[in-house]
Amino acid sequence: MNDARDKGLALNPKYDRDGLITAVVTDDHSGELLMVAHMNAQALTLTIDTGLAHFWSRSRQALWKKGETSGHMLEVRDLRIDCDQDAVWVRAAPAGPTCHTGARSCFFRRIGQDGLSNVDAAD
């Protein structure tokens, strides 16, 4: 255990070998899980400095400000880091659907024994 990282109050993210940490995003009002993405150091800094969620796109290998093209930005209400500082939790107010498919959450399908099914919005 690294007491300074695990218990201290200094921000010291533990990025993986690709320079990324996992970011979990939930709706600040409802608590609904909206998306999981990754941040590099620049994305985390921009998120802290601007109050808008920024991520690193692994597929495009580029910095990405959520909602920059769609207008569906994520306004950060609370930003937390886990005990060993290798994952962040973004509690945000979404300005529209979070998923690139137009769904409110990226987690709109349920896995069952018969395959996938859509999750009812009230679920």
Q: Which amino acids are annotated as binding site, given as ranges?
A: 82-84, 86, 99, 106
3-state SS, one letter per residue, for the chain: CCHHHHHCCCCCCCCCCCCCEEEEEEECCCCCEEEEEEECHHHHHHHHHHCECEEEECCCCEEEECCCCCCCCEEEEEEEECCCCCEEEEEEEECCCCCCCCCCCCCCEEEECCEEEECCCCC
- Which residues are part of a known binding site for Mg(2+)? 82, 84, 86
> Which residues belong to the annotated binding site for Zn(2+)?
83, 99, 106
CB atoms near residue 58 (< 10 Å): 12
